[in-house]
Structures are given as structure tokens and as C-alpha cells.
Structure 1
Amino acid sequence: MQSDMLIIEDLMLLMLDDKTGVPAGAGTLYYTLGGAVLLELALLDRIEADEGPALNGPKITTVGDGPLADPLLQSAYDKIAEKTQRVQPLLNAVGSGLYQPVIERLLERGHLRQERRRVLGLFPTTRLPAEDNGYEAELRRKVCAVLEDGGSPDPHLGAVIALLSASGTLPTLDPAPKWSSRTYHRAKELEQGSWAAGAVNDAVARTVAAIAAGSAAVSIATITGPSS
């Protein structure tokens, strides 16, 4: 198992269909990826969320000093530090450019492979099937142990599951955990951030709530389309 994987990398690996590489919840993917980075920064004590209620969620501010070890996290931290924003627009601002860099990381780490083909011999297409290296299978086993058997996750795994639940993609994963009322309620418990300690829990819970609200709003807009 690779202990240096970011939350966003494990999250993406689980959301990608193992055969095609098409992500679950593609319409709200940027919200979820942005949330993964914010949760990582929260767990590192590098961002805080205020307590004031607002339409677009709490304000997010940077805290602490010194460089972050991962350039992806540093880039997000710098963007947040430029201007205090509320969490929902920030999820979009941070998450919109993350898909391709994370895919490239998973390819470099050997968790995905790239297959280029031509449909009908004419139209180029690219698939990103999972590599059977044991890592993803072990990650999924850990997710199932928490959701199906009531296990206690560490903060990293708790964040991954909370994001899957908040984004609405958990029951659509392929392969997915055994879906039941128990699984659903356990996932919702993790959305509350109980696996994060102390003041960090507040920032985590507010961020996850904003992801759930934002993902729901985007999904409704996609389904209903523009008003006549």
C-alpha cells in the first residue's frame, strides 16, 4: 500500500470505472475534487472555516505558514490565500483544474493504464482502465469494512468515504459496496466529520456539507435544464 497517496488520488481511483475510466458523478466532479483538496488542507491545519451561516457556505481562510510538501496542495493553498471566499465558489475555483493532473498521477503511480483506440477505425478514443496491482482492491476492502462492518476509519479514509457520500456517487461506484440502509446511514455519519479531531472537525463538517449542497444543486440544474 502506498502511504503517500492524497485523499484526492484515492477518491479519484474509487470513482473511476475500472474498465472504462469514466468517473462516477462526472457532472459534479469538480466540486468533489475541490472538496478533497480542502479536506486535506483542513486535516493539515492549513485552512479554517468560519461559523457564520451564508448562502454559499462558510468563509475559508488559510492558516499556518511554511511550504506544503505536495505541489498540488501548495497550488490550492496559494489560490485560497489570494482571496477569502465562501466554500461553494471555492470548490469550483479549486476543483475545476484538478481532473487531468490527478489522472496523470494515477498513471505515473501505476494505478491506471492508458489505452488509445479508434472507433470504426476513424474516431480516436482513450480509455483509462484500472491496473490490477492490488492497491485499489485493498482500498475498496477498507471502505467496505467501514461501511458494511462498522469499522472506524482513520482521518484519510474517513475523508474519502465522506466525500463519496456527500457527492452522491457512493451507490453508483463500480464495483460498489453492498448498498443498504445501514451502509447509507453509516456513510451519512461520516459526512458529519466525527473522524476528524477537535476544531478540524468543524472545518471538515462544513466543507462536506457544502459539497453535498453544491452537488445537489448542480445535479438538479442538470436534470431540469434552463427554464423556459
Structure 2
Amino acid sequence: MKHNPFLKEIHKNLIVSCQALEDEPLHGSDIMAKMAQAAKEGGAKAIRSNSSSDVAAIKKQTGLPVIGLVKRDYQDSEVYITPTLKEVKELLAVKPEMIALDATKRVRPGGEQLIDLVRYIHDESETLVIGDIATLQDAEYAMKCGIDLLSTTLSGYTNDSPKLSGPDFGLVEQLLKISTIPVIAEGRIQTPEDAHKMLELGAWSIVVGGAITRPQLITKTFVNGIQQH
């Protein structure tokens, strides 16, 4: 599986997450496609994108491989990254190279099961499945469900994971000791030094989002820094 062309392309390289939710200033597939083009021109080898419309627009604009997901809230579950088969089908229709699923042990909407979503994707397409996890226990569960790659996306965003101000280097180290599949480092990676350290630990590749593609957060960092001095 590590000889997959997509995996070769992203190995030891940067993936940029281009996402803007409905309440954010840059929301819109046309805007995200331009953001992704800017990331491509800066050297990004792939894009992580939210919603089938954004995935389609980014693939058309950039020609880069895309990790697709759909963020959707359900009243009966905390899981919101591609929670159900409905979101999986939306993504398969636009053919991303990879689909990201919440792969924590939390209960999915309607009692749907991670293993069933993974099987469906594998049965219906050649799309790889990345499991967004928060803990070592999540990773073990995700691997049993047949996930192709792990990503530390949800570390710090679940009740059972540590709330850190920076990247979860410790989780990446732990995962690399037990994982039989590639591990992608994602979450609060703010600087090139953070990214380089993750690669030195053995991460397959790096995903950076807010530090590159959310100007309101970047601006806020500067404003806070100025006010502190």
C-alpha cells in the first residue's frame, strides 16, 4: 500500500488544509479553490478539503490530489468529520484520492459503524481512507476497522485527549511504535520547525491548516503578540 502513487507523492511533504466554514469570511468553493492554487504554487503536494463542492472545485483548479471530508453536525453524536454513509457517498461522487473519517471510538450518528464505512469505501472505489484520531486507543480501533492511514487531527478536540497549545508530538511518537500503516501529523502545527520535528519523528507527511489558510487566526496571533508587549 505504501507504493500507492498518492502516498509516494505526499511522503515527507506538505499537505495544506484549505477549509472555511459557513461562518468564516473565506467560505465558498471558488475562494477555497484559489486558496488551494496558492498552496500549490507554494509547494503543497496535496490539499485537505471540506465538502464535496470544495473538493470538486479544488481538483479542477489545481490538479492536486485531495483528501476529502464533510463536516456535519448531528444531534445524537459528537462525531462531525464524515460521520455517516450519507457524507461518504457525497464525497465518492467527486472522486477524492482519499476520504477522511472520524475514527475515534465515539458513537456515530444513528449508530453507524466505522468498519462499515471503511468497507463501503473500499468496496465501491479505490479511494484510500484516513482515520482522524485523538488517542492511541482510537488508533488501535481504527486499524482494526481497516483504515489505510492515521492522522492526529482530533488530538485535543475530544474529552479523552490532552489539551495542548502546540502539536501533539507525544502521540505521533506513540503511534509510530504501534502502527502498521502510515501516520500523518496534523493539528496545531504552527511553524516549519514543528513540521520538521514531526518528519524527524517519522511522520509520513504533514498537514497544516490554520497557520497557512486562515488569515483571521494569523492576524489574531499578531494582534495578541503586540498586545502582550
TM over 0.5: no
More strand by share: 2
Give TM-score scaled by structure 2 length: 0.29
Higher relative contact order (CA 8 A, sep 6+): 1
Higher helix share: 1
Q: Computing the radius of gyration over CA atoms, which structure comes out larger, 1 or 2?
A: 1
